[in-house]
Structure 1
Amino acid sequence: MPASPEISFVIPVYNKADVLPYVIRALAAQQPRPDAEYIFVDDASSDASVAVLEREAPAALRMVTVLRNTGNAGPSVRLNQGAAQARGRLLCLIDADELILPDAVALMQQALQLHDADMAHGKVIRSTLPPAQIVPAALGSMPDCRTGDRPLQMILQGRGFVRMTWLVETALFRAAGGCDTRIFIQDETLPLRLAAKAHRLVDFRGGMTLAPQTTSHLSADKRQQHHDRFFAYYNLLADQPALPAKERQLIAATCASIAWKAVRRSGLPLAQFATLGAYLQGKAGMAVSAGFLDRAAAAFRALPGIRQAAPSMQPLLSPSAPPS
Structure 2
Amino acid sequence: MSAADGVEYTPAELDRDATFYVAGHRGLVGSAIWRKLEASGFDRLVGKPSAELDLKDRDAVFSYMGEIKPKYVVLAAAKVGGILANSTYPVDFLSDNMRIQVNVLDAALENDVERVLFLGSSCIYPKFAAQPIREDSLLTGHLEETNDSYAIAKIAGILQTQAVRRQYGLPWISAMPTNLYGPNDNFSPAGSHVLPALIRRYDEAARSGAGAVTNWGTGTPRREFLHADDMADACLHLLEHYDGPGQVNVGTGSDVTIREIAETIAHVVGFDGETHWDTSKPDGTPQKLLDVSKLADAGWTSKISLSEGLERTVAWYREHVDSIRV
Q: Determine if the TM-score, normalized by the shorter chain, exceeds 0.5.
A: no
TM-score (norm 2): 0.27
